[in-house]
Each structure stands twice: as C-alpha cells, then as structure tokens.
Amino acid sequence: MGRALDALAWLLRASIVLAAAVMLGSIFLQVVMRYVFHRAPPWSEELALLMFSWATLGGLALGVREGFHVALTLLPERLPPASRRAWGRVLALATAALGGFVAWSGLRFVEMTGGSISAAIGYPTEILTAMAPASGALVMIFALEHALLPGPAEPA
C-alpha cells in the first residue's frame, strides 16, 4: 500500500511541476506576443488558468501527503506523545472527511457544468471542473494514509 501511495504522490508531484512549467511558458508567450508583436494569442491565458488550477489543487493534496501545509502546533506540543499521535489521527480523519466532501461536491459541479466548452481553446470544461473532485479524492486518500497507517515515530 505504501509503495502505491508513494507512486501516486510522485505522479502528482510530476504533474504539478509540468503544469507550473506550462503555465509559466504560456504566460511568458502571452507577454512577449502582446508587448513585442502586439498580438497576444487568445488561448494562452485560458491555458495558464487551467494549469494554475491543477497546480493549486494538486499542490493542496500533495501538501496533505507531505505535511507542508500550515498547522497550528500550540495545543499538540503541550500534549504527551501518545495523545499527540491520537490528536494527529483525529485531524487526519477530519481532513479525509473534508477531502471526501470536496470530491463529492466537485462531482456534482462537474455534472452541473457538463456539456460546456472553454471559450478560447474549446476543450470540454469538465477537464477544468474535474480537478476539484480529483483533488478532493487525493486529499482523502493521503489523509487516510496518515490516519490509518503507522507513522515513522509510531510502532507498526
């Protein structure tokens, strides 16, 4: 199970890096075309928005997996180690529930926006709106990993 989640996290990280590179390239092209050639391509801003959306939502899920999100530590630092681990599992379960809600409500949003196409590129908007349920599902999976699997400081 751990190897599969490691591979999933690696794929997620690679997709975020690729999305960020495409986003920055698209923005760079738009700026050069607008200010040098006075003809900005109509699709570059839409592509940058699509890639930004995935980099943000994918980064949210990766932050849950890697633990590089913002956390308040005032209360947990005052707890004994066993209680601290239990509190961490409770928070991970709450995060998993939130991820499940985002996945569920995101699927409803995909259904509501189904059949639309983007203005400039013409891709189905389901590609953009499907990022919310995908991110929610990944948040849920990674949070459940933290809640259910023993961590490095815990006995197996």
DSSP the chain: -HHHHHHHHHHHHHHHHHHHHHHHHHHHHHHHHHHTSS---TTHHHHHHHHHHHHHHHHHHHHHHHT-S----HHHHHS-HHHHHHHHHHHHHHHHHHHHHHHHHHHHHHHHHTT-B-SSS--BTHHHHTHHHHHHHHHHHHHHHHHHS--TTS--
pLDDT digits (tens, 9 = 90+) for 35-52: 999 999 999 999 999 999
Asked if residue 149 has pLDDT above 90, the reply is no
Q: What is the mean pLDDT of residues 29-36?
A: 97
The pLDDT assigned to 156 comes to: 33
pLDDT, tens only, 59-69 = 999 999 999 87
Domain boundaries, the chain: 2-148
